[in-house]
Amino acid sequence: MSSVFGKPRAGSGPHSVPLEVNLAILGRRGAGKSALTVKFLTKRFISEYDPNLEDTYSSEETVDHQPVHLRVMDTADLDTPRNCERYLNWAHAFLVVYSVDSRQSFESSSSYLELLALHAKETQRSYPALLLGNKLDMAQYRSPGLRARPWRAGSGACSLRSLPAWTSSMCSMSFMRRCERCAESWRRAPRPGPSSSLRRKPCLTRPRSQPDMGWPAALSTLSPRSA
């Protein structure tokens, strides 16, 4: 099922061909992904959602005067990544969301970042990624002991943002520019199919030899060198 939000903005002339950008919103159930998606696309905040519903939404946006057809997949994983190929083989960029008042939500975000780093290595492509701490308005209920600490996958890193679910800006303009550049480069070159290793093992398990790096922070683009 796909829903359409928004309308063409200024700068999208009749002869402009919108660039298509696919953005997947990842995270544990209850992180606030649907609230962010709907707020970003409709500028309205709705507090109650069906946590088991996964959908794809569309909107016409403008980035640096360039018309962009943005498609957002609001995923519905429960606790950890499941059936990952449905978004790994579809998205140009990823937004990983966790709730600041849930340690389980935070721990799940590490699994998603590791999965994306592995995907970048397997496909030999770069992926803009943003890690977002959601429900900042619930900061007084922040899970004890959680502190921002660097997370790295090799030489890769990811941008960290924190915001309340009702904020008006889900993605920064700089992140949208990276999404646009990534989608443009993909349009110019054929996209490789899923690797055999990802087909055999679609979801990532942390190697025993790899320590828990704590709170994920810092990352702008996951590259093949990131894993």
Specify burial of residue 9 (Cβ count, 10 A radius: 0-12, 13-18, 19+): middle
Rounded distance between C-alpha atoms, residue 174 and residue 221, angstroms: 12
pTM of the model: 0.67
77-98 pLDDT per residue, tens: 877 787 889 999 999 888 888 8
Q: Do the Cβ atoms of 224 and 127 come closer than 8 Å?
A: no
Q: Which two tokens stand for residue 132?
A: 């977002």
- Provide the residue-wise pLDDT of the chain in tens; the chain has 227 residues: 444 444 444 444 544 678 888 999 999 888 888 888 877 777 676 766 777 788 898 888 877 777 888 899 999 887 778 788 999 999 988 888 888 888 888 888 888 988 998 888 888 887 888 888 877 665 555 554 555 443 443 334 444 555 454 444 445 555 566 666 666 766 665 544 444 333 333 333 333 333 333 333 333 445 554 44
Q: Which domains does the chain have, with CATH numbers?
A: 2-226 (3.40.50.300)
Cα-flanking dihedrals φ and ψ of residue 121, to 5°?
-70, -45
15-49 pLDDT per residue, tens: 467 888 899 999 988 888 888 887 777 767 676 67
- For residue 26, give the amino acid letter: L
- In terms of Cα–Cα distance, which of 218, 126, 131, 134 is closest to 179? 126
What is the SS3 string spanning 6-47? Answer: CCCCCCCCCCCCCEEEEEEEECCCCCCHHHHHHHHHHCCCCC
- For residue 211, give the amino acid letter: P
